[in-house]
């Protein structure tokens, strides 16, 4: 468990900085359980960097989540991109 005061926003900012330092400009995120809110924050902050979201039991509840709309928009965008890249 992260130390007290370490929020999902702070964890996402740390990982975001890591991707900058190592030079990742595009990557997929694998999210599950406790880490899902962190991965979703990365996707909302930099949607152009996300090539895919793989979720295994990732939590994104509609009830009580004011930040879900950006994730819906991102999911739609990724679906359209996948359709354009699919072989005919």
Please write the tens of the pLDDT for every residue from 17-33.
999 999 999 999 999 88
Question: Domain span at residue 80?
Answer: 8-85
Q: What pLDDT, in 10s, does the model give residues 37-71?
A: 888 889 888 989 999 889 888 776 554 455 666 66
Phi/psi class of residue 29: alpha, beta or left (left: φ > 0; alpha: ψ in -120 to 50)? beta
Would residue 3 count as lying in a domain?
A: no
Would residue 28 count as lying in a domain?
A: yes
What is the pLDDT confidence band of residue 6, given thresholds at 50, 70 and 90?
confident
Would residue 48 count as lying in a domain?
A: yes
Would residue 61 count as lying in a domain?
A: yes
Structure tokens at 11: 């964890």
Contact assessment for residue 30 and residue 54, using Cβ atoms and an 8 Å cutoff? yes
Would residue 29 count as lying in a domain?
A: yes
Report pLDDT for 64.
Answer: 44
Is 0.95 surpassed by the pTM of this model? no
What is the pLDDT confidence band of residue 15, given thresholds at 50, 70 and 90?
very high
Q: How many domains does the chain have?
A: 1
User: In Å, how far are 14, 24, 59, 64, 66 from 20, measured between CA atoms?
Assistant: 10, 6, 26, 31, 28
């Amino acid at each position: 468990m992260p130390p007290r005061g370490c929020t999902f926003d702070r964890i996402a900012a740390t990982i975001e900085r890591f991707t900058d330092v190592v030079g990742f400009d595009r990557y997929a995120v694998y999210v599950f359980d406790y880490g899902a809110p962190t991965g979703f924050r990365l996707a909302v902050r930099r949607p152009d960097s996300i090539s895919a979201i793989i979720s295994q039991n990732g939590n994104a509840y509609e009830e009580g989540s004011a930040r879900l709309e950006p994730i819906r928009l991102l999911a739609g965008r990724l679906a359209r991109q996948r359709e354009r890249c699919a072989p005919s």
